[in-house]
Chain A
């Protein structure tokens, strides 16, 4: 251990929200100058714990010791004074400010900005040199890539003289290359004596970057181990509380005839910018085509166009007939009637009405089906409720209460509701976007099995995911998207993360079209 007094020590932290105990008697000790991983499923209490450390919540019980001294952190100002910096999953940057302006925001030296700005410019130059954190200080945030925006967040924390840096799911939006770069930066910070807490659900990152790891499950700390002395399998088991199959079991595909043919598909957004620049591919029965790419490179638009949500141009042939891409015929219901199901990327804003009950959501998009009608005017709410009960049992949705509002289910169970609804409607083609985003490991395993079962039943699946692991383990073919185009098709058996990562960054491989 580099230093006897730990940088952070949490003793007996407990916090409950109403009847839900989010943190129960948490003890954790983070030695100075180390990278400490905190891993756990969604809802395990990681974010609550970090919010307590950063002063967003007040713990019901327990003590926080920073560098050995008992410290009260009633708000984030105190956290910053105590030397804690936080990089949130969703960046807190002013888009139309420059890097410098964002860095000094809230810590200006006086009413006139000039001296603050020139001081910040000097400090930033030093920091960039020291930690490989190069960003143009005069660039506008909106012009920066996501990876660079994240660096600005780190610079912001360092400028506030943070010695302890907390990063919440930092790689969710990065390419593998950018993630590697981030980890190099973190190692550099560690070598300079900074302490880093890395919150993530990706086991690979924990293994790669951390010195120690704490595992949380249902509000309690179930393990504190040295990373070198553990394995991904052991960590997964700790997280879930049972053995988990990290590898997806999948037989070989037996692709049949072409069911969906996309030719030169183009989409413009509201501002008139072309987001999809002529995409072409074929999808066969009984195969999973995975679309890899960094978020924001046209995958969402591809799903929206095929799902009938967004107007597009080009030609899409489904079972031999042309699908309307604009006008009244291009809507979610028409697509479902035709036999195209859609698990949307963002279940909370698209796939579910969060205030609706589970049973109302189970009919969402299918509410006009004859089986859900009592008579010409009225819906058969009882039939939908019964149907929902059956599907909840089949997909192990917990709690199995059809009258509970969607917002009161955990992320994984919300997703199971969407998956149950779309798969059980027996589509010919299923569009799947980020099926396991914000979903716990147990549910991921379940959802992956269901998708493969659908493929084995001879259906065609288009899978969009920013998780390369997911693309690699589920897909029978992989297409990589960058800047609204397909950079190339790869066989998952004969490729690797490095090769895909280059394509995702826009570097054409030999096989690109």
Chain B
């Protein structure tokens, strides 16, 4: 399993682990940005066959993109 991000306010925590593709999203801003978060997560993780957990504490979209990208690279074994 790989992780990126934190649970601090304004940040988002992402983890990816082996398994059937499954995307679990929890956000404090579900009512206001649930759809936008889901769109970004789907866009960036398309084709990744793994269990993806996103726990959002109010991150801006570019923060979410950065955390997702970091987690995906770690999961793919890329050295940063």
Q: Do A and B bind?
A: no
Q: Which residues of A contact B (CB under 8 A)?
A: none
User: What residues of chain B have their CB less than 8 Å away from a CB belonging to chain A?
Assistant: none
